[in-house]
Amino acid sequence: MEQLRLIEEAGGASKEKVAKDVANEQELLALVEKEKDDAVLEKELHEKLAAAGMPDAQMGAQIKAVTSPWMRYFLAYDPATALRKVTCPVLAINGERDLQVPPAQNLPAIKKALEQGGNQHIEIAELPGLNHLFQTAKTGSPAEYGEN
């Protein structure tokens, strides 16, 4: 949800639109996490997306993306579990303007999980002015990726 919020804000969306889109995304992803029956899930997603006004042309691709085995795995995966087992030295870096993996949300969580596992060889760095691809960026929006 944070990724969606940041990217929409960088694109100039109104606070109202951002809030609505984030709430819709939260509902959709909660459905994906909760409903294990693919047929039931697809029906529920179709109803929600239709009610939100999504064109039929987009709906199939959206439903396919959020119901894929990869997405289901991704939503259930907790990287902290694996990070607690890492014993080698770790350098975790983010661009300051990374809107896809926001540094304020992710770097402290990475550090915390590593420390919980007893790792004492951790360096965390937020690189000024860089986006998700470590390019110099104005806003960090994915729309800027091809400009560099």
- Grade residue 119 by pLDDT with cuts at 50, 70 and 90: very high
Residue range 123-144: average pLDDT? 96
Domain ranges of the chain: 2-76, 79-147
Do 22 and 5 contact (CB within 8 A), yes or no?
yes
Q: What is the pLDDT of residue 2?
A: 93
Q: What is the pLDDT of residue 140?
A: 95
> Looking at residue 93, what DSSP letter applies?
E
What is the value of pTM for the model shown?
A: 0.83
Do 133 and 145 contact (CB within 8 A), yes or no?
yes
